Amino acid sequence: MSNIDYSSKIPNNVNLQDDRTLQRALEGWLPNYLDWWQDMGPSGSHGFDVYLRTATSTTPDGWATFGHVKMPDYRWGIFLAAQEAERKVNFGEHKGEAVWQDVPGEHRANLRRIIVTQGDTEPASVEQQRHLGNTAPSQYDLRNLFQVNVEEGRHLWAMVYLLHKHFGRDGREEAEALLERRSGDADNPRILGAFNEETPDWLAFFMFTYFTDRDGKFQLNALAESGFDPLARTTKFMLTEEAHHMFVGESGVSRVIQRTCAVMKETGIEDPAELRRLGVIDLPTIQRYLNFHYSVTIDLFGADQSSNAAIFYSSGLKGRYEETKRTDDHLLKGDGYKILEVKDGALVEKEVPMLNALNEVLRDDFIKDSAGGVMRWNKVIEKAGLSFRLTLPHKAFNRHIGTFAGIRVSPDGRAISEAEWALNVNDWLATEADRAYVASLMGRVVETGKYANWIAPPPIGINKQPIDFEYIRFN
């Protein structure tokens, strides 16, 4: 099961050749996908040979082979993690029953919605990132961008496979619609807010892959617990790909910080304006980018109280992060969870039924996980002997979904007036001027082993290759 058949038109480990109808349907979708990739995939990349990893098995150890692949001839395929024998539903009202191999009729609409919402984020991020290849700071970074892009494309395949195999005609229609929506389009946008934002420069890209791909990690982990076994198996394998995306983000931000700190140390300059004259990204600007991407990303978890979240859990469709490692009853009836609300101008805790607060539970797990990278970024600053520290803003800061939508909260968690917000917002969120400055640094570096001035080279290359390896042959 773990071995992947690359001899068929659509590489897969799901014995696609045994289901001719499904195979034909997916082969019918393939050219539409390739058209979408031509239109919306990385601009100007056609004909490049890119050092990419390709999945060759779905076992956690050594699933990938590396080699130069001509864009856009990457082989997108359908790969599910191995089936676990006798797997049971681990939570909710069906707890203890055998997992479903087919969609249970009563949960069909909810499952379709979950799969479409996840699927929609995958092509969205490719669309958001499509122009970044024109300004890559090195071949190494360009290669990482393309790796992330082709794998987001593959994640779309993962969801489209489920729609085609398990949802009949409306599944096929949803699969078409996934290729029709466009990130940021006024008439036909992507489903979730953060996936309609622009990713205009490489600092935004690194923040996006650190924070927003991490949202992916948490959503996929929750779906990997699903009682619908095909969804659990496909998301389980997606998670192994996702890890690299977050690595690209964390190490990318870290290298920007490292370079800035090196210049600060070398020159003794701390003033942002003067540092900008030296062509590096000052730390307060990095903080403002962080504040933006973090706050936009935590909105993705949805409203802090949600009856849908309760239904998805109780029906066994979507679990919690690391559901099976938790020691409670996995039913959660009668359990409470503390969420925040604004009362008399202050943020106060209030206990609500946990089942209704499962979006908040997942958001809080995400927040804990996000803090790790920020701590490691601060280590880079500390090592340079500088006193500046990056922080995650308060979770109520700059929110547009749930209790805090429309309420002004400072990064340190005080409910504030509109006037105070207006006075300070340029210190808290990346401004037009910040973005224009960062954009001014973006210029394409194509020479093998060269890195742009605003970012440090990585400590090691991809797949243990040297950092001056020829990651891209531009031809």
Q: Considering beta carbons, is residue 25 or 246 the nearer one to Fe ion?
A: 246
DSSP letters spanning 294-330:
HHHHHGGG--SS-HHHHHHHHTTSS--TTGGG--S-S
Q: Compute the least distance from the CB of residue 255 to Fe ion, in Å.
A: 19
The first and second tokens of residue 385, run together, are 């002997």
Min dist CB 126 to Fe ion, Å, is 9
Q: Is the dihedral of CA 448, 451, 457, 463 positive or negative?
A: negative
Shortest reach from residue 209's CB to Fe ion, in Å: 7
How far is residue 22 CA from its own chain's centroid?
29
| Residue 199: CB minimum distance to Fe ion, A | 12
Nearer to Fe ion, 157 or 451 (CB): 157
Cβ atoms within 10 Å, residue 125: 27
Q: What distance in Å separates the CA atoms of residue 111 and residue 318, rounded to the nearest whole number?
A: 9
Q: How many CB atoms lie within 10 A of CB 425?
A: 14
Residues in the site for Fe ion, rule: CB under 5 A? 122, 152, 155, 213, 216, 242, 245
Nearer to Fe ion, 216 or 230 (CB): 216
- Of 155 and 165, nearer to Fe ion (C-beta) is 155
Given the structure tokens 């960062």, which residue do they identify? 438
Least spacing, CB of residue 331 vs Fe ion, in Å: 30
Nearer to Fe ion, 294 or 397 (CB): 294
C-beta closer to Fe ion: residue 23 or 149: 149
The verdict on whether omega for the bond into residue 72 sits within 30 degrees of 0, i.e. cis, is yes
- Cross-strand bridge partners of residue 78: 12
Please state, in angstroms and as integers, the Cα–Cα distance from residue 407 to each residue in 15, 303, 375, 430, following that order: 52, 14, 28, 19
**Please, which residue, 63 or 388, has the CB nearer to Fe ion?**
63
Structure token digits, residue 241: 């790909």
Phi and psi at residue 101, to the nearest 5°: -95, -20
In whole angstroms, how close is the CB of 118 to Fe ion at the nearest point? 8
Which residue type occupies 17?
Q
Least separation in angstroms between residue 210's CB and Fe ion is 11
β-partners of residue 340 are: 349
**How far is it, in rounded angstroms, from Cα 216 to Cα 206?**
15
Give the C-alpha separation, 460 to 457, whole Å.
Answer: 8
The least distance separating Fe ion from the CB of residue 148, rounded to whole angstroms, comes to 6
Torsion of CA 105, 109, 114, 118, to 10 degrees: 110
- Comparison of 205 and 397: residue with beta carbon closer to Fe ion: 205
Nearest-approach distance from CB 391 to Fe ion, in angstroms = 25
Which residues are bridge partners to 50 per DSSP?
A: 69, 472
Enumerate the β-bridge partners of residue 346.
Answer: 343
Rg of the chain (C-alpha set): 23
Report the SS3 class of residue 101: coil
The smaller minimum CB distance to Fe ion, of residues 245 and 399, is found at 245
Helix (H, G, I), strand (E, B) or coil at 349: strand
Nearest approach, Cβ of residue 392 and Fe ion (Å): 20
Q: Residue 224 or 332: which CB sits closer to Fe ion?
A: 224
Query: Cα–Cα distance between 436 and 426 in angstroms, integer?
Result: 14
Shortest separation between residue 275's beta carbon and Fe ion, angstroms: 31
Q: Which is nearer to Fe ion, 152 or 197 (CB)?
A: 152
